[in-house]
Amino acid sequence: MNIATASSPGDCVLKDTLAEMTYLEVEAAISRGAIGLWGLGVIEQHGPHLPTATDVYIPSVRLREVKRLLAQQGIEALIIPPFYWGVNHVSSSFPATIKVRPRVMVDLMTDVIKSLADDGLRHLFCLSGHNDRAHNETIFQAVCRGSAESSLQAAFVAEDVMIGRLGVEPGHPHALAFSVPSNAVPSPFLDIHAGDWETSVMLAFNPEVVRHEALHDLAPTNLVIADLQEWRKGHDDARRVTPLGYFGDPAAATAEHGRAWILREAESICQVIARRVQDA
């Protein structure tokens, strides 16, 4: 399958979103029963080689691919312009990591959800671009509140690992878990932040904002689960564990891995969304 038909290197994060459409086109799509897809990222340090909007670029690429796959199943989707101002805890002692209070994010997301409900949208699927537990907990809270205060049914779509970390019960009406088959070689060393997988996706879809000259000199961090627990305490603890801001092996990244990763993920996401829409 040729993923390049959906996205090409250097695509703007507004590409293929509702922001490129007129209000009449949006109205017509909603009246045909289109669903909404919304990526929620942050501005956050991503090491010496990736831009601070990495968690905005990657969900944008992912959702364009999900939209394309849903269309093949006869489900039309509108992509909501990506959310930038999320909750940062782990990287919060680094520059250019913008910290927003969870309640501000819940209020803002709720207002957006209510506006979309007023426009007639019935289903909205929210996906995170950022793995900070606090950010994901905030999205889940906003999805529940927005759904309770409007006629729209929103769902937080996340990997089963994240749904488990949040303690959300399987089958929750506002949560949807997916799993991505991994073909990684088993290793005790973790790849968590601005490492192989995030760098690979950026090389595949937004290579013009990757600092290629910095990338090749970055040594693998070779950190293990105990380091991850320390890193997740955040702020100075995270900076001590990862002084350069990345956790993993960015120099191992390839565009080919990035493309394959996004496609595997998008297929899993498309399946769970299509099932939820068809069951509704």
**92 C-beta neighbours (distance < 10 Å), count:** 18
Whether the Cβ atoms of residue 11 and residue 208 lie closer than 8 Å to each other: no
End-to-end CA distance of the chain: 30
Nearer to Zn ion, 121 or 157 (CB): 157
Q: How many helices (H) and strands (E) does the chain have?
A: 10, 5
Angle at 76 between CA 73 and CA 80, to 5 degrees: 135
Residue 65 binds to Zn ion (criterion: CB under 5 A): no
Site for Zn ion in 35-54 (CB under 5 A): 54
Nearer to Zn ion, 16 or 55 (CB): 55
Residue 137 binds to Zn ion (criterion: CB under 5 A): no
Cite the DSSP H helix spans in 99-219. Answer: 102-118, 133-148, 160-165, 196-205, 212-215
Nearer to Zn ion, 54 or 138 (CB): 54
Whether the Cβ atoms of residue 118 and residue 148 lie closer than 8 Å to each other: no
- H/E run at residue 255: helix 255-279
Whether the Cβ atoms of residue 258 and residue 207 lie closer than 8 Å to each other: no
Residue nearest Zn ion, CB atom distance: 55
Output the smallest distance, CB 80 to Zn ion, in A. 20
**194 C-beta neighbours (distance < 10 Å), count:** 29
Output the smallest distance, CB 265 to Zn ion, in A. 14
Output the smallest distance, CB 91 to Zn ion, in A. 9
Output the smallest distance, CB 50 to Zn ion, in A. 8
Nearer to Zn ion, 63 or 144 (CB): 63
Output the smallest distance, CB 241 to Zn ion, in A. 16
Output the smallest distance, CB 198 to Zn ion, in A. 5
Number of residues counted as binding Zn ion (CB under 5 A) = 2
Residue 55 binds to Zn ion (criterion: CB under 5 A): yes
Which residue has tokens 């399987």? Answer: 170
Output the smallest distance, CB 194 to Zn ion, in A. 6
Provide the 8-state DSSP code for 186: P
Q: How far is CA 215 from CA 56, 148, 238, 253, in A?
A: 20, 45, 21, 9
Q: How far is CA 114 from CA 110, 225, 265, in A?
A: 6, 40, 28
Nearer to Zn ion, 17 or 45 (CB): 45
Nearer to Zn ion, 55 or 196 (CB): 55
Nearer to Zn ion, 35 or 139 (CB): 139
* Residues of this chain that bind Zn ion (CB under 5 A): 54-55
